[in-house]
Amino acid sequence: MRGMTYRTLLILIIAVGIGGCANQHTPYTDWSKKEQKLYKYQLALQVTDTMQTVRLIQCQETGTCPLAEANPIYGSSPSMQRLIAIKLVGNLLLYRLLTSDDTHRERNLKLANGGYTIIVSNNHIIINKAL
């Protein structure tokens, strides 16, 4: 996993993201245009958050990194394997929620996007202060 590139990780996240919502019960193409747009934002936020964590992992590998992961699920020094496993499980759970609740999909996407926007913004501020 040490040699995993940004491109490989991005492709993995996007493939799981697209594949996760394309199921027989609620195909992505049947979603409203607004839901599809919100979902694309969700993918972008997921990729950004993942890349921020990858940056942290790479920083910590130098041995002089002033940063620590704040998400207790990852632990203060996450590994690429742990990051990928948690992202996959988390995304699969989110997709399950999105495909099982047609009436609240838009609301759920807005909540998820709002939460991730806060996380990504906070990560950006902390990373820029430290590095």
User: What would the pLDDT profile of 75-99 be if each residue is shown by its tens digit?
Assistant: 899 998 899 889 888 888 888 888 8
Q: Which residue has the higher pLDDT, 69 or 23?
A: 69
Across the chain, mean pLDDT equals: 83
User: What would the pLDDT profile of 2-29 be if each residue is shown by its tens digit?
Assistant: 455 656 666 666 665 555 555 445 567 7
User: Is the whole model's pTM more than 0.85, yes or no?
Assistant: no
Structure tokens at 12: 């993995």
pLDDT attached to residue 16: 59
Residue 57 half-sphere exposure toward CB, CA atoms < 13 A: 21
